[in-house]
Structure 1
């Protein structure tokens, strides 16, 4: 049976308790007046009592350091230590003494066997606690600045954890936890902008998607001497947007013979060279509103871009177009050209003069054949977004015949090369697309929007299959080797074929397609979300902006609206009598750039 008596002060776990009754079990009173029955071994006697009230156990000051030094090397108990430090041994002093021991700076042990800690241990403990206290003060000050959005330069290192979360490099943040914010990239983005760690317009998506933003910088050799067909007598036109920086295709016509000339990139980028391996991992150029990240060193474009030198080296593709719009009699030649660069707008004004009128007529014939084969003409709004010095410009792309003409000529070249390689068993990448479930020829914007959603994604394969969206039985992308790796891969195979060298086999081509498509897909996703990011900045910076939208889908009061002037798809709730293809006037009511969302209202 316990020798404890009612009124004794005991330690229960780490809390003080007052014994109120001793029987088969001990009844104790805890702080707050709660009673509990415990066993004898569950409590430790600190003072026999009598203890009147637990509220009398208050912090005390005493001669701690002096008696710690006095007891060096000795052992004591709670009664003696209480008398030394506080001058007496009362319940309140006994509790203060135990608090001193359990604090662990100067003493350690149990109530019946207390030892002073060594001078080295005390000094180390004090240093550790002072450091921790200083860190807590610094943390509290830092968090106060974060809440105010006014950080110091030294705070940026600490906020690096929030940036890592915003960029999907980690999934938690002590700072966001302390602020009771959700630990996700959107919350992290908001906080980084609020504190000024990121600028108001920061685009995190290239880093978040993990794309390579570096500019390739590999040594580029001069073009080697080799036999090239001299085509400098032909008028060759590189037609592109006015600000295009990497012209890699041009067109000519020689009687009934069409020519598509393509930058001869494979002449300088050899398979498995450092440039080739790096370009393969990137997959394609990365086109962002504020910059372009090329997949090849800029010097490659300077040397090989069509029209950038007095004479341009090219891989020229010649072919005939039958009256039925069939591509045939394909020839391929390394060549020299003199190229005239013009814009789509300039070409548009020259479509009624030679040679553009002849080119246009052949393209219309080719387009009719593709349309009869099920190709779809989907003309959804397109824009060009440019961001310079945080100023955003959005320019709608005009629906120009010249643009469609160039597209058709590039498709002719792609179809011609696909058939050329199939006839000669040359392994290359083919672009394929399965047909939609319900083939259509949509005529209005809503129908085009709905039909596009039926489209299967284009796939790049080693096996030639139809491309339903283009209405072609076989097609290979071949006209953009400066900016797309699969085109470069085809050029490398064609060059090896023309020179009688060993070709890459199907398995190798398939592996390289898979590697490059990973980079290409990451680039496309990065471009898509980056364009939306800058669209929202464009709208945010124009609080008075209003625009016209076209209803392209509707379910009850919920509608999908395309805004042609910014090529943006908005969701909103509409009331009243509206039909598909109706025009409505819209105004943003809430723009959330970190969330990449914008909510509109009718005006």
Structure 2
């Protein structure tokens, strides 16, 4: 009864050779509602017991069955199966048994002309072919599914389809199509449950009998495809010639493999979505492309775009970055070169058209995060002066700054006054950035990372956010400016008459800007 319930729950039933295949017993679970669950004592699975809900099951040939009649039918099938000579219900082949028990299942199958076989064409392709004639002592000439005749070695053969003689190679494509239409991985899961419960191993033909009710060539080949492609439920116990014996994996191992498979499928889905993002951004006009910051919001997207960036500037830190970048370029139909990666990043708007690669290689930051920019705006609006009571009024001094005409950030200036004894006192003023930035603040931490502003012929990348550097920290002409000032008294010959004076916080009118022409220091 327990087996019948499980068969109903999985919509798969073990059939005898005289019965229709499992496909005839497909059922729709929405036609039932669960009454109770029964837990298997060894495997920990729960199987539902159903009762009819409005409709009866319709199982092929227009016959109508109630749930009770379905259970009776299943029990009859199982009873008939036990009586078959092919299946010895009272004997069990142990997975941990001696090689002698497995030897009973491993009958070497000699290759003959007209046999249908499967062989490895190369590391990626497996083909079906018909054996034509021997080629030397060990090799065989075969005609494959593409109509190509070639010589293969014995070790290339992965399977000989049982029960086939004098197969016409012109019929291979039709045979493959029928096999593909007949594959159902859920049947393999059902067989695994049954064999694990009985602690039995299985050959391809035994599995075909179990899930298709037939050991005909097509069904046997379908069983082979299910087992050879399976990475979850079964493992090869032993192989002899072209025949293998498979055993069901332990339940805990299957659970772990299913978890890994799910994780792999999720990762593959996320990768496809990332590639689609690249293609979408690439097709957008320049003004509509997503900003660079949008690629760095989600960690997995950030990891992939950073891997592509590292590949573009030849700065990959590990093999994972190289592998990730290579997969992306392959998916985009590009060659695996740094130039291809660079052009792709430009095409999606991640890099500017005239990006400076040296800035990237030396990890020089060219922009500030939204968080830093917001903090800078707040400083300009709400900052207080911690040295206000100690500042010295130097507004009586004339202050001069010398810089290029297009300079918009002045951070130092000079003043000079003649003393009564003829000596000259020189004042050196430096913009007081510390009056705005508190130690340990986000602005301070960002400046520590950068270390300096970077001045290039084509652009300037300030250590502080641009608005803060040019407004709050720059010596603006015609405005009162906060500065840190030192002074020194000079003799008429230019030698120092005194030591440099103490640092003094001061406030004074902005400098008169003197302009020097290019080429003059």
TM-score normalised per structure 1 = 0.42
TM-score by length of 2: 0.47
